[in-house]
Amino acid sequence: MYLHGRNVLKEILNINNTVKVKQVIFTNQKNADGQINLLKEACYQRGFKVESASAERLAQLTGEKKHQGVVIEINKFPYHEFEKLREKLTRKNTSIVVLLDRINDPHNLGAIIRTSVAAGVDGILIPEKGSCSITPSVIKVSTGLAFRIPITVVTNISRAIDLLKEDGFWFYAATTDGQPYYRENYSEKSGIVFGSEGRGIRQLVSKKCDFSISIPMEKNVDSLNVAASAAIIIFQMRRKLLSSGDSNGN
């Protein structure tokens, strides 16, 4: 799997061996800027295999012109096992998990991952079928933050909700006709479900949810972009659940 982008490499350099790097390939352009050299140096120090190639070759490897002169080959994206995520969550008093029901647009998926990491979300669940997986584009849009949060693929999303409910979670479905998101007193263990744009959350999934919330907006506007909705709701949940420190202005 060929990843691209400087922020992605920086993230990989920052994390500890959760991702197996096969090689890092830099542009061999003579006029490459100084940051490339700094990144190269950091790769040597981490013991990564470093190669160089033409910008065209990098574009060919990644299928992406905007590779920023940096391509990282990894084995595969390090998904988390569901049971390991559950174990982690039981050790916390307060936590938020984000469940994405069939988000197909890589830009939206990457944006929601980035937002989730910034908000301190504990894990992201995506269904095995009908969803965009964690592709190089998703990782790029997440600015590499996809490596900082447990992302779990579940075969049966209803079953996953049931199991997390057993662990003390309550589930909130983001819909167009629920209670205003800011009126909700989120449970200390909260799961928030977002559906795809256009199609929303599947009925079998929304039935499993305990509450339905929505974002009040102007009449005659169909809906927000799902990444915008997620930002608004997830940061409200953070504010209610995770951010006791924030109230002091930190």
Residues of this chain that interact with its own copies (CB under 8 A) are 107, 111, 114-115, 117-120, 143, 145, 179-180, 182-183, 215-218, 221-225, 227-229, 231-232, 235, 238-239, 243, 245-247, 249-250
Burial class (CB in 10 A: 0-12, 13-18, 19+), 14: exposed
Calpha distance 43→190 (Å, rounded): 39
- Shortest distance in whole angstroms from residue 163 CB to its own copies: 26
- Shortest distance in whole angstroms from residue 3 CB to its own copies: 19
- Shortest distance in whole angstroms from residue 119 CB to its own copies: 7
Calpha distance 107→119 (Å, rounded): 18
- Shortest distance in whole angstroms from residue 120 CB to its own copies: 5
User: CB-wise, 57 or 107, nearer to its own copies?
Assistant: 107
User: CB-wise, 34 or 245, nearer to its own copies?
Assistant: 245
- Shortest distance in whole angstroms from residue 125 CB to its own copies: 20
User: CB-wise, 28 or 243, nearer to its own copies?
Assistant: 243
User: CB-wise, 18 or 75, nearer to its own copies?
Assistant: 18
Q: How many CB atoms lie within 10 A of CB 1?
A: 15
Q: Does residue 226 come out as left (phi exceeding 0), alpha (psi in the -120 to 50 range) or beta? A: alpha
User: CB-wise, 45 or 220, nearer to its own copies?
Assistant: 220
Q: Do residues 40 and 26 make contact, with C-beta atoms less than 8 angstroms apart?
A: yes
Burial class (CB in 10 A: 0-12, 13-18, 19+), 165: middle
Token output for 193? 């479900």
